[in-house]
Each structure stands twice: as C-alpha cells, then as structure tokens.
Amino acid sequence: MGARLIMIDVKIIALLVFGSLFSGLITSYLIKWFRKLGMVGYDVFKKDRPPIPSLGGVPIIFSYIIFLSLMFVLGYVDVDVYSTVVLVSIIAAFIGLLDDMYDLPGFFKPLACMLAGLPIIFFGTYVPRLHFLFGVSYRITYIYVVLILLGVTVSANTVNMFDVINGSALVGTLYSLLVIIISSYWLGRDLNSLYPALLFIAILIGFLPFNIYPSRVFLGNVGSLLLGSQLALFGILYKVEFPTVIAMLPFIHNSFFFLNKVKGFIEHKRLGYRVTFLDDKGLIGDAGDENAPITLIRLLVAPNRLSEKDLLLNINILFIFTTALSLISLFWW
C-alpha cells in the first residue's frame, strides 16, 4: 500500500492519448449526424432553449470499445475483464439508447439496468467482501451478488438523474473515476489492471469539451447510464467500493430526494412539477413547489439564484470536497 514507482508502457500512453483524440473527433463528426436525424434535446437553462444533439454516449462507447479491444489484442487486458467491461458497457448504453429513442416508462431503466450487473457475476470478476475503514471487512458471499445488481442499477440511474445542467454528470463521473484510480493504486492493485478505467477517463476527457458548459452535445440516457454503470463496475472490479461511494456522495444526495418524493428513479423532464426555473436574467432559481423533490440543484439555488455556469462551479467544489474526503480516508484503511 502507499506510494510506488509508476511505470507505464509507452504503448499504453499512446492508446490513452489516441483514444482521447479519437473520442473528440468522432464526437464532433457525430454531432452533425444527430442534428440531421433530429436526435436533439432542448437546453432548458438557456433563454432561447436551443436544440442540442443528444446521443453523446454513442461516440463515448464507440471509442471505448475500439480502444479497449486494442488493449485486449495487445495483451494488456485479460479476457474476463475485457468481456465484463464490454458487456456491462453495451448493456447499460443499449438500455439508455432505447429510452432515448422510445421514451419508455419510468420503471424500465432501474429494472433493466440490473441486467448490466450480470456479466460481473457471470465472469466472476468480483470478490464478495466489503472493506471499510479501520480494517473492518464483511464477507457476504450471497448478499454481494444482489448488491452487484443493485449497485450497478443504482449507480447508473443516480448519474442519470444528475444529468441536469451542462456537464454536471460528466464532471462528477470524472472526479469519481479519479478516486477509483488513486485509491485502487494506493491499496495495492496492479497498475496493469487499471488500464480499462484509465482508458475510460481518457475517452471522457476527449468528450469533455463538447459536453461542458455551454454544451454542444448532451450525454443522453445512453451516455449517463453508461457513465454510472462504469463507476459501479470499476468500484467492484478494483475492490474500492467504499471510496467510490464517498466520492459519489453528491450524486447519492441528489437521488435520495427523488426516491423519497417521487418514489422512483425519474428524470426531471418526466416530473409533473417544476423543481427549478429560469428567470429573465438567465439565472436558475428554486421553483418553490412543495411537491417537488429537494434535489441538489434546488438546494444550491434555494437561498440565491445562480447562473448555470456558477451552478456547475459549485458542483465542482462539492465533488472536489468529496474526492478529498475519499482520498484522506485511505490513510485509515
């Protein structure tokens, strides 16, 4: 445990760099396609509500699978991990794509996303032991299998519900992935085993300029479910469930109130009432509806209205804080 000399093969660095560049290139190309096909969402936090291409998860998964396959062919990823990662990604993204295209009922996504946890169980790429701080651990052989299915669907839908303003879900995911990488390495996982997660970060970095405020492409359900499922997957794969949960506290905080008020994983657009509103100056404020859930965004704008850009900055601060908390915890492992 602790600091070790980091040696990365130059081929891996090349794969990460080219993966990132490819992700950016394919995104810029596909944006035009999505617009032509009418696959757009409306940016409700801009005064003119511009249509924005919305299947951003498609270039992400496309780039990810190509470069992960290259890693596998070059022998950097073993067959069980490769199969698990590819299948979890494809299942989660496909479920999201179905919802993007056909607007399926609210219960569909949470139930269907449990299927994305099955490859982890099938390929046995997990250890049924939960580790906490101060040397506490629980061996929970059968319960862990249930937790895998729940963890993947909860994580995927939690990130999905947080995809409210430009870049919020992507930024939170990147911070959480950073925690996964650092905590995994700190706790003694072999650096070679972390390549799938490092690649995913690289792919997301290539996509980031298109999704960050002001967005030129939205993640869509295809993207947000993919991102969330990967967080659960890597947390399980690298046995860093606890640090991952700490890093994801802002996501979890947001979801609780949806679950409490709405009794389900429902996106903002499906709610029958307004959580927030946009005023004449382009600032986001609390709609003040007693029936609406107290989401993280609503809590942030409750005392004072904020611009979307400032809201994203506040979300960044929250994630930096939980990232730091998570990493500090490693000293008490």
Residue with tokens 């650096």: 191
**273 lies in the site for other proteins, by CB under 8 A:** no
Which one among 114, 147, 226, 296 touches other proteins, defined by CB under 8 A? 296
Alpha-carbon distance 211 to 218, whole Å?
A: 6
**102 lies in the site for other proteins, by CB under 8 A:** no
**90 lies in the site for other proteins, by CB under 8 A:** no
**278 lies in the site for other proteins, by CB under 8 A:** no
Q: Which stretch binds other proteins (CB under 8 A): 76-84, 105-113, 188-196, 239-247?
A: 239-247
**263 lies in the site for other proteins, by CB under 8 A:** no
* Helix, strand, or coil (residue 40): strand
Helix (H) / strand (E) containing 312: helix 308-329
Alpha-carbon distance 303 to 77, whole Å?
A: 49
Q: In the beta sheet, which residues pair with residue 40? A: 53
Which one among 271, 294, 327, 333 touches other proteins, defined by CB under 8 A? 294
Q: In the beta sheet, which residues pair with residue 277? A: 285
Which one among 138, 192, 264, 282 touches other proteins, defined by CB under 8 A? 138
Q: Which stretch binds other proteins (CB under 8 A): 91-99, 151-159, 228-236, 302-310?
A: 302-310
Residue 276 backbone class (left: φ over 0; alpha: ψ -120 to 50; beta: rest)? beta
Alpha carbon of residue 230 to chain centroid: 7
User: Which 8-state DSSP code applies to residue 215?
Assistant: P
Q: Which stretch binds other proteins (CB under 8 A): 52-60, 85-93, 199-207, 296-304?
A: 296-304
CA–CA distances in Å: residue 330 to residues 28, 175, 185, 208, 326? 39, 16, 11, 28, 7
Q: Take residue 98 and report the two structure tokens written for it.
A: 């179905």
Q: Which stretch binds other proteins (CB under 8 A): 7-15, 46-54, 131-139, 211-219?
A: 131-139
**302 lies in the site for other proteins, by CB under 8 A:** yes
* Helix, strand, or coil (residue 31): helix
Q: Which stretch binds other proteins (CB under 8 A): 110-118, 213-221, 247-255, 271-279?
A: 247-255
**288 lies in the site for other proteins, by CB under 8 A:** yes
Contacts with other proteins, residue ranges (CB under 8 A): 132-134, 136, 138, 242, 245-246, 249-250, 253, 256-257, 260, 286, 288, 294, 296, 298-304, 306-307, 310-311, 313-314, 317-318, 321-322, 325, 329, 332
